[in-house]
Amino acid sequence: MRAALVADTGGLLRALARTSEGAPSFPEYEQALTAASTVIVPGLVLAEVDYFLRDHRAAMRQLVADIFDPRTRYEYELPLPSDMARSLELDARFAGLHLGLVDGTVAAVAERRRVYRILTTDRRDFGAIRIGPRLTQALELVP
């Protein structure tokens, strides 16, 4: 069974990266993305991806088209006010990590949606934090 995942900025960028020949630059990230039953893209992640793709507008336009195409596995997830508040709580609780709003929101969306698989390059932060009511739920880092 293919499981859902929440995409973080670095993981999504690596999954989409291509060599000059058009092959995946990071095949393990592309495989994780394409194997997921659902790819949840938090709104703040999409904004951050846009920043990194500012010199690659065609790639960004294609990503947005894919995310909002109802035939794809992508689900665009606007952060709820409760996600923003939870993000700040997690940032304060794990202050030594300096999570920030985007990573905190990724964790908050994962917590709310009960999707604990995170497509990320940020193994230090997402490997250290715990979510859930008692902060006991670890995140599964993909790939």
Per-residue pLDDT reduced to its tens digit, 19-60: 999 999 999 999 999 999 999 999 999 999 999 999 999 999
- In angstroms, the CA 94 to CA 131 distance is 11
Domains and CATH numbers, the chain: 5-142 (3.40.50.1010)
Q: What percent of the chain has pLDDT over 90?
A: 99
- pLDDT for 2 equals 83
Evaluate whether 4 touches 141 at the Cβ level (below 8 Å).
no
Mean per-residue pLDDT of the chain: 96
- In angstroms, the CA 142 to CA 124 distance is 13
Evaluate whether 108 touches 79 at the Cβ level (below 8 Å).
yes
Q: How confident is the model at residue 1 (pLDDT cuts 50, 70, 90)?
A: low
70-92 average pLDDT score = 96
Global pTM reads 0.94
